[in-house]
Amino acid sequence: MPKDLVLSDVAAWETTIAGWLRANVAEDPAHDVHHLMRVWRTARGLTAEEAQASGAPPADLLVVLGASLLHDVVNVPKDHPDRSRASRLSAERAEEVLRALGFPVGLLPAVRHAIEAHSYSAGIAPRTVEARLVQDADRLESLGAIGIARCFATSGLMKRALFHGDDPLAEDRPLDDLQYALDHFEAKLLRLPATMQTAAGRRRAQERAEFLLTFRDQLLAEIGGAA
C-alpha cells in the first residue's frame, strides 16, 4: 500500500462504491451486491494474511477494493455466448464508473487487469498481486456453504435439475453441468483449489472444498434413502 494511503481512504471509497452499486446493480441471487461485498472482505483478509506470512509489502488495497466491488458489474448469464467476455466487459464498465466517481486515475489500469483476470472462463493469467488476491477471493465464493447456495441458485435460474436421479455422480454417463447442478461440483468447483494463486487462498479453498464433499456425501445418502 502506498505510504500516503491510509485506511480511512479505503473506508471512504468502500462507502462510495458500495453506494453506487446499491443504486445500480441488478439483483441476482448469486451475483448481487452482497456477493461483491463478500469478495471484497475476503480479498482484504487474504491481503492481510499474505502480508503477515511473507513480510512483503502489502498489496494496494484501493486496487483490491475497486476490482473486488466491480468485478461483476456487467453480469453475463452463464449460458450466454458472450460469457467468456464478461470480465472484459466488467473491466471496461468499472473504469467508466470509477472515473466518474473520481477514483485515482493512476490505479485504473491495475483495477482493470484484476477484473479481467478474475474470470475462470476468460483464462487470463493474473500478473499482479492484486489480481491474484481478487481471483482467489472470487473463487472462494464458489466453494463452501456459500458456494453450494450460489451453485443451486444459479442452476435454478437456468432451469437445471438438481441432479441426475438415476446416476447423480455420473458414474455411467458424461458429466453435464448444463443439465444437472450437482455435476457442477465435479466439473468445476472441486477443481478450484488447484487454481488458487496465494497460500492463504489455497488453505481456505481446501477447507471449503472438503465441506462441498461432506455436503455431497450427505445428499447422496439422502437420495439413496440411507439417511
Give the H/E segment covering residue 58: none
The pLDDT assigned to 216 comes to 97
Q: Where are the beta strands (DSSP E) in 15-143?
A: none
- Which phi and psi angles does 164 have, rounded to 5°? -75, 120
Is residue 134 in some structural domain? no
Q: Is residue 203 exposed (0-12), middle (13-18) or buried (19+ Cβ within 10 Å)? A: middle
Q: Contact 162/177 with Cβ under 8 angstroms?
A: no
Residue 205 lies in a domain: yes
Q: Assess whether 98 and 157 both reside in one domain.
A: no
Same domain, 12 and 98: yes
Asked whether residue 104 falls in the same domain as residue 168, the answer is no
Together in a domain, 86 and 194: no
Same domain for 124 and 148? no
In a domain, 135, yes or no: no
Q: Is residue 173 located within the same domain as residue 152?
A: yes
What is the pLDDT averaged over residues 107-128? 91
pLDDT reported for residue 3 = 40
Q: Quick one: average pLDDT of 47-69?
A: 89
- Of 218, 221, 50, nearest to 133 (Cα)? 50
Which of 129, 160, 186 lies at the terminal end of a domain, its last residue? 129
> Rounded mean pLDDT of 85-90?
85
Q: Residue 110 and residue 114: Cα distance in Å, rounded?
A: 6
Whole-number average pLDDT of the chain: 90
**171 and 124 together in one domain:** no
Containing domain of residue 158, as a range?
Answer: 142-227
Taking only the tens place, the pLDDT of each residue in 150-197 is 999 999 999 999 999 999 999 999 999 999 999 999 999 999 999 999
pLDDT of residue 81: 59
* 122 and 161 both lie in a single domain: no
Give the whole-angstrom CA distance, residue 131 versus residue 154. Answer: 25
Same domain, 123 and 166: no
Same domain, 29 and 3: yes
Do 66 and 107 meet the contact criterion of CB atoms below 8 Å apart?
Answer: yes
More confident residue, 75 or 50: 50
pLDDT for position 162: 97
Total domains present in the chain:
2
Sign of CA dihedral 172, 176, 182, 185: positive
